[in-house]
Amino acid sequence: MKVLFDEQTIKDRVSELGKQISGDLEKSGISELMVLGILKGSFIFMADLVRKMDVPFIDCQFLGVSSYGDATESSGEVKLTHDLSHPVRGNHVLIVEDIADTGLTLSFIQNLLTTRGAASVRTATFLSKPQKLHNDCRLDYVGFEVGNDFVVGYGLDAAGNYRQLPFVAVLPH
Ligand code: IMP
Ligand code: MG
């Protein structure tokens, strides 16, 4: 497999992001944050990111969505497969996503949280594929930009496989 980002490179970048996010929140006077991971792809990034954030109170929550099934191209339709167990109203939320491809998943969740009365909504995505990104999806924090290859590892899967890889690699055809 062709490795795009190795373990150390990822570690350094996630530390930077954690510092940057914490600093921005402090400037905005936010000391309580709901970190909302999008299952399943974000679980490794989220686990590393929250440990690099310096925010007094962090409530970790998860939301399950599916747009790909087992395919490597978006179906164009986002399905909620696991809803929040906690009300969002009045909370400052940081959505954590593995990768923004078309941006459909992120804009769907941004809209959902805004409709439910979140006090503020920010996004942190580990990877972004800028070539296909929709305009209506706002990305606040991006780990790395990638091309249009299908990538796996560090939480990202191909039909459920490879999430456990500590690096990010291009899926061979
Ligand atoms: P979007 O809604 O088109 O932005 O797609 C986002 C979702 O598609 C992500 O949460 C991933 O689960 C999945 N995805 C998109 N591109 C890739 C990839 O290259 N590797 C693995 N999953 C991907
Ligand atoms: Mg996926």
pLDDT digits (tens, 9 = 90+) for 17-60: 999 999 999 999 999 999 999 999 999 999 999 999 999 999 99
- Find all residues with CB under 8 Å of 155, minimum gap 6, and list them: 40, 41, 42, 43, 44, 45, 98, 126, 163
As beta bridge partners, residue 168 has: 5
Backbone angles phi, psi at 124, to 5 degrees: -125, 115
Please check whether residue 171 lies inside any domain of the structure. no
The yes-or-no verdict on residue 68 having pLDDT over 80 is no
Distance CA 88, CA 114 (A): 9
Please check whether residue 154 lies inside any domain of the structure. no
Give residue 172's pLDDT.
Answer: 83
Please check whether residue 162 lies inside any domain of the structure. no
Ion ligand 2 nearby residues (CB, 5 A): 41
Distance CA 42, CA 62 (A): 9
pLDDT digits (tens, 9 = 90+) for 106-152: 999 999 999 999 999 999 999 999 877 766 788 999 999 999 999 99
Distance CA 150, CA 112 (A): 27
Distance CA 81, CA 25 (A): 30
What is the residue type of 117?
G
Q: How confident is the model at residue 69 (pLDDT cuts 50, 70, 90)?
A: low
Give residue 56's pLDDT.
Answer: 95
Tell which one of 1, 38, 68, 72 to mutate to probe ligand 1, the residue whose CB is within 8 A of the most ligand atoms.
68
Give residue 72's pLDDT.
Answer: 64
Among protein residues, the one with the nearest Cα to ligand 1's atom 12 is 41
Among protein residues, the one with the nearest Cα to ligand 1's atom 15 is 101
Please check whether residue 83 lies inside any domain of the structure. yes
Q: How confident is the model at residue 99 (pLDDT cuts 50, 70, 90)?
A: very high
Q: Which residues are catalytic?
A: 101
CA distances from 123 to 68, 119, 135, 160 (A): 20, 14, 15, 24
Distance CA 21, CA 16 (A): 9
Number of domains in the chain: 1
- 77 against 151, higher pLDDT: 151
Ligand 1: list residues with CB < 6 Å. 41, 67-68, 74, 97-105, 150-152, 156
Please check whether residue 169 lies inside any domain of the structure. no
Give residue 73's pLDDT.
Answer: 66
Domain with 14 in it: 7-22+31-67+76-146
Residue 142's CATH number: 3.40.50.2020
